[in-house]
Amino acid sequence: MPDYKFTKWLVACVAIIASSSLTASPRERVDLNNDWRFYRYADNQQADTLIYDTRPAVEGFNDSQAADTRPTDAVSISSQADILKPWILPSGNAFIHDPAKRHTRPAGNPGEDFPFVQHDFNDADWQAVTLPHDWAIAGPFYTGDNPKVGGGMGRLPSHGVAWYRKQFTLSDTDKGKQIYLHIDGAMSYSMVWLNGKLVGGWPYGYSSYRLDLTPYVSTTRPNQLAIRLDNPPQSSRWYPGAGIYRNVWLEKTSPVHVSQWGTQVITPHVTAESADISIKTGLTNNTSSARTVTMQHAIYELSVDDQLSRTPVQTLTSEIVTVQPGRDQTSSSFTKLANPKLWGPAPQQTPHRYAVVTTLKENGSVLDQYTTAFGIRDLQFDPNKGVFINGEHTPLQGVNQHHDLGALGAAFNLRAAERQLEILQEMGVNAIRMAHNPPAPELLTLTDKMGILVLNESFDSWYKKKTPLDFHLIFADWHEQDLRALVRRDKNHPSVIMWYIGNEVGEQYTGEDGAKVALALKAIVKSEDPTRPVTASMNWAKADFPFSAAMDLISLNYQGEGIRQAPEFEGTNRIRTPPSYPAFHKAHPDKVILSSETASAFSSRGIYLFPVTPEFSAPVRDGRGGDSRIHQVSSYELHAVDFGSSADKVFRYIDTHPYVAGQFVWNGFDYIGEPTPYYSARSSYSGMIDLAGFKKDRFYLYQSQWRPDLPMAHILPHWNWQGREGEITPIHVFTSGDEVELFINGESKGRKKKAPLAYRIRFDDIRYTPGSVEVVAYKDGKPWAHERVETTGPAAALAASADRSVIHADGRDLSFVTVDIVDEAGRFVPTATHNIAFTLSGPGRIVATDNGDSTDFTPFVSHQRNAFSGKVLVIIQSENHDSGDIILTATNKELGTTSLRIRSK
C-alpha cells in the first residue's frame, strides 16, 4: 500500500485543487483562517436578541436516555416578530429545485446598529483565534448532577451565543469580480454580516455553504466580517463541537464561471480496457447580458499529493456555450478513456485518481479554470453476495465515526483525521460511515487517497425529535437545501458509495407517512446523483414496513443479530427484535442487506473486571462486566449496550448469513459524549480505539478477522495482578491463526483450536501466578504467530515515542506523542497511574493531552495528566513558518524525566 503520510496543508476544497502549472485564471481561493477575534457570552450573561427563530422551552429532558429511545413529536410554537429567519432562508435558494418555493429577502437590514457588526467596534480585548476553532474543547468540564451540559453532549460548554470578527482587504484588481465566502462548517445557526450588512447564513452546523459577498464588499477600505453563532443546549445526542470548526475561504471569480460544486463526473461504463466518462458542468453568468464562452475539459492523472500529471491523458473537443444572464445552466460532455487506472479500496486494489480541468475562455482570454478530482470505478450491488468494486467482491469491513477528533474536539485538523484513518486501516477497516452528519470535505479527500469506502450520511432526525432542540426544528425549512448541498459537494468522490438520508429516525414508526418522507428525500438525492443507492438506517422498522420498502438497500442497526433477546428484557417496553437478516432477505430478495451499526460493545482500555462471564455476549451490569463505582467496563470484550452485541456474536451472525454485504461497527474511535452506560463520564466506551488513539483489546479481535493473512496473536489481560495469586484469571487470545498453545512460566497449559463460529480462544481456568504468559499460534498446523506478556517490576521511568518525528512548520501539522510508564527493564507497566507534567521548547506548542479514560475531567488543554492504564498522549503542533527542533520534556517526581526531539521544517 502506498505511504499516505501527510505532506502539506493544501489550500484546496474537496474537488477544487489549485494548479500553478496551468493557464492563469481569475479564480482565486484565499485562506481566511488566520487572525480572527472571538467573543462568547458567559453563562450568566444575557445574549443579544439577533436570533434566527424562536425555540421551544426545554423542561425535564433526560440527557442519559437510551440511544434507541423512540423519537417524539415536535413541540408547536409561534415565532416572535423580530426573528432573522426571513433574511437567512434566501441563502439556500440555489438548492431549492422549484423556483416557486424559493425565498424572497425582505427589505431592511437587521442588526445593522448592533456594535459587533460595525467597522469601528473595538474588539482588541476579544480572544485572538485561528480557525478551525472549537470554543468548547478547552473546557472546563461540567461535573456532578444536573449540569448545564450533560454527559450526552460531553459535559463541555458547547452551548451559547458567540461572535467571530475578521477584516480582509481587496484591491482595485478585484473590481468587477464575484467575491464569495465559503464556510465548511459552523456550529450552528450561523449568520454573517459584512460591513454592517446582513449577508445571510445557514442554520445546520454540519453543512458547508457559500455566501455571495459581492454586493457588500469594498475595494477601497478593509472589509469587516462579523459572524454570529448560536449553539443550543440539548441539541445533540453526542458532542457537537462549537464555533467555526472547519475551514473558511474567500473565493474570487469572474462573473461568468463554473457554478458552486458545478461539475459532475460520472463513469457509467467501466472495464479494464476503457471507461466512459460523462462530464456535466454548471455555468453561472452574473452579468446582465448573454455571454458566449469556449469550454474545454482536459483529464489528468492526479497524484497522492494532489499534483496533476505533466500532460493530460485526454483532452476533449472544445465547446461553444452561450450562458444566459443572471442564471445557471448546465452543459454536458462525453469521452472514452482507454486503459483507465481504476480507483479501488486498499489494500486489495489501488485508489488511482484523476482530475478534470475545465477552462472557460472568452475571446481568447481565460475567464475561469476549475479542477475536479474524481476516480474511475465500477460499483455493483448483488443482493445475494454484497458489494463488487471493479468486479471484485468487497466485504464491507466498516466502522462508524463521529466527527470529533478526541482531545482536539470538533476543530478539523487534516493530520489528526489522517491518523485516525491510518489506525483504522491497520485494524483492517476498508469502509467508514459518517455518523450522523456530513463530514469535513477534506476528510473525503483523505478517504479517496487512502482507498476507504464511505457511507455519506445527512441527518439524525427528520420531523420527529430525539433531543428537544435538534435538527427537527429546521427540517421542514432546510432539508432540501442541506441534502442537495451535501450531494453536490461530495458527488465526485469515488470513495462515497452510498447516500444515507437518515439514522434511526422517528418516521420509522409512522407507516406510510414515514415512507412518504423517505421517498421524498430519496428523490432529492436521485435528482442530484442517480448513480449511487440511497438508504436510511433502521433499528425498529421491520421487513414488511413501507419504510423498509422505500430504501434502495436494507441498512440495519443491530437488528441482524437481534435486539434485547436475553431473558432479563422480557416484559420491558424497550425495542426487542429477534435476529432479522432472514426476514429482510425474504421480504426484499432484490436488495442488498448490510449492517450499518453493529455491536456497540463496551470496554475501558486496560481495565479487567472479575468474574469473567462464560457467555460470548452479555449486557453490562455491576459485577457483570461493569463497575458503577469507578465507571469503567471490563476489557475482556464480552459486553455491550443492552440493544447491542459483542463482536463475537456479530461475527457469528455475519458469517452465517453470507448474503449480508458487511458491517459497520459502533464504533471505530471513542468519541466525546454519549458515555453509555455511565452518563457521569465525559466520553464513550464503545470504540475499538480509545479517545487518545490507543488500541483497546477489541482492536485485535477485529484485526484477527479482517486481516486473516497478517500473522498476529494478542493476549489479554495483562499479567500484573498483585493480590490475585491463586485466583481464577482467564486468559483469552485473539489470533488470525486457528490454534493456540498457551505457556505459563514456560509450562504448557494446553493447545486449543478455535471452535466453529468462535473468534477467540479461551483459557478460562487459569489461576494467576506472576511471571510470563506466552502463546504460540498455529495456522494449518504450522507456527503462525507468537506473543508474550510478563509481570513487570514497579514503575521506574518514562518512555516517549512520536508517531512522526518530522512535521511541517505550517502552524497546523501535528505530532502525537505517547508516553509510557515502564519498569527498570523497560517493560510497559499496564497498571501505572502516575501524574506526568509536560513542558515544551522550540517552535511548537502543546495543544492537548489525553489518556483515553472516559472519566477524566482534566481539561484537554492541561499540560499535566494522570496516566491511564500506563499511558498518556501529548499532541504537539508546529508554529507557522518557524522551523527548528521542538523538545518535549515529560516529568514525574518519582519516575524522573524523559525528553523527545521533533523536527519542524
Reported as a single tens digit per residue, the pLDDT across 573-607 is: 899 999 999 999 999 999 999 999 999 999 999 99
Q: Are 284 and 257 in contact (CB under 8 A)?
A: yes
Residue spans of beta strands (DSSP E) within 267-352: 274-285, 291-302, 314-315, 319-323, 327-338
Sheet strands side by side (includes 884-892): 806-807, 896-904, 884-892, 835-841, 864-866
| pLDDT above 60: residue 670 | yes
If pLDDT is split at 50, 70 and 90, which confidence band does 24 have? low
How many other C-beta atoms are found inside a 10 Å radius of the C-beta of residue 324?
12
Q: Are 61 and 467 in contact (CB under 8 A)?
A: yes
Among all chains, which residue has been given the C-alpha cell 426544528? 473
pLDDT at site 285: 96
Phi and psi at residue 814, in whole multiples of 5°?
A: -130, 150
If pLDDT is split at 50, 70 and 90, which confidence band does 81 have? confident
Task: Give me the percent of the chain exceeding a pLDDT of 70.
Answer: 97
DSSP structure class, residue 624: B
Instruction: Choose, from 251, 418, 457, 597, the residue flagged as catalytic.
Output: 597
| pLDDT above 50: residue 20 | no
Q: In Å, what is the CA distance from 849 to each residue of 156, 174, 269, 307, 648?
A: 16, 44, 49, 35, 33
Question: Which set of grid coordinates corresponds to residue 812?
Answer: 497546523
pLDDT digits (tens, 9 = 90+) for 235-290: 999 999 999 999 999 999 999 999 999 999 999 999 999 999 999 999 999 999 99
Q: Which of 591, 593, 594, 597 is nearest to 539 (CA)?
A: 597
How many other C-beta atoms are found inside a 10 Å radius of the C-beta of residue 756?
7
Question: Which set of grid coordinates corresponds to residue 870?
Answer: 500506563
For residues 278 and 296, give the distance between their C-alpha atoms in angstroms, rounded to a whole number.
Answer: 14
Question: Is beta strand 396-401 parallel, antiparallel or unpaired with respect to 660-666?
Answer: parallel
Instruction: Choose, from 251, 457, 504, 787, the residue flagged as catalytic.
Output: 504
| pLDDT above 90: residue 77 | no
Q: Are 37 and 455 in contact (CB under 8 A)?
A: no
Q: In Å, what is the CA distance from 378 to each residue of 31, 270, 340, 343, 900?
A: 36, 6, 12, 9, 47
Contact partners, residue 809, CB within 8 Å, separation at least 6: 843, 878, 879, 880, 881, 882, 883, 904, 905
| pLDDT above 60: residue 12 | no
Contact partners, residue 404, CB within 8 Å, separation at least 6: 238, 239, 241, 410, 671, 672
> Would you call 426 helix, strand, or coil by DSSP?
helix
Q: Are 598 and 688 in contact (CB under 8 A)?
A: no
For 472-485, the DSSP string reads GGTHHHHHHHHHHH
Phi and psi at residue 526, in whole multiples of 5°?
A: -65, -35
Q: What angle do CA 652, 673, 800 make, to 5 degrees?
A: 85
* Per-residue burial over 563-573, b = 16 or more CB atoms within 10 Å of its CB, e = otherwise: bbeeeeeeeee
If pLDDT is split at 50, 70 and 90, which confidence band does 64 have? confident
For residues 220 and 199, give the distance between their C-alpha atoms in angstroms, rounded to a whole number.
Answer: 19
Q: Is 528 a catalytic residue?
A: no
pLDDT at site 78: 79
Contact partners, residue 81, CB within 8 Å, separation at least 6: none
Q: What residue spans of 54-160 are helical by DSSP H?
A: 85-88
DSSP structure class, residue 79: -
How many other C-beta atoms are found inside a 10 Å radius of the C-beta of residue 835?
15
pLDDT digits (tens, 9 = 90+) for 298-321: 999 999 999 999 999 999 999 999
For residues 417 and 384, give the distance between their C-alpha atoms in angstroms, rounded to a whole number.
Answer: 34
If pLDDT is split at 50, 70 and 90, which confidence band does 83 have? very high
pLDDT digits (tens, 9 = 90+) for 811-856: 999 999 999 999 999 999 999 999 999 999 999 999 999 999 999 9
For residues 518 and 535, give the distance between their C-alpha atoms in angstroms, rounded to a whole number.
Answer: 9
pLDDT at site 404: 98
Domains in the chain, start-ordered, CATH in brackets?
Answer: 28-72+79-252 (2.60.120.260), 256-375 (2.60.40.10), 795-904 (2.60.40.10)
DSSP structure class, residue 74: P
For residues 902 and 885, give the distance between their C-alpha atoms in angstroms, rounded to a whole number.
Answer: 6
Average pLDDT over residues 375-393: 98
Strand partners, 250: 30, 181
For residues 515 and 495, give the distance between their C-alpha atoms in angstroms, rounded to a whole number.
Answer: 28
Question: Is beta strand 291-302 parallel, antiparallel or unpaired with respect to 319-323?
Answer: antiparallel
Q: Are 89 and 477 in contact (CB under 8 A)?
A: yes
pLDDT digits (tens, 9 = 90+) for 157-214: 999 999 999 999 999 999 999 999 999 999 999 999 999 999 999 999 999 999 999 9
Strand partners, 557: 597
pLDDT at site 63: 85
> Would you call 406 helix, strand, or coil by DSSP?
helix
Please, how many CA atoms are within 13 Å of residue 757, restricted to the half-sphere of its CB?
A: 9
For 679-698, the DSSP string reads TTSSB-S--SB-TTSPBPHH
| pLDDT above 80: residue 23 | no
pLDDT at site 5: 38
Strand partners, 129: 36
DSSP structure class, residue 178: E
| pLDDT above 60: residue 887 | yes
For residues 465 and 458, give the distance between their C-alpha atoms in angstroms, rounded to a whole number.
Answer: 15
Question: Which set of grid coordinates corresponds to residue 553?
Answer: 438497500
For 519-577, the DSSP string reads HHHHHHHHHH-TTS-EEEEESS--TTSHHHHTSSSEEEESTTT-BS-SGGGTT-SS--B
Q: Is 597 a catalytic residue?
A: yes
Q: What is the mean pLDDT of the chain?
A: 95
For residues 413 and 405, give the distance between their C-alpha atoms in angstroms, rounded to a whole number.
Answer: 8
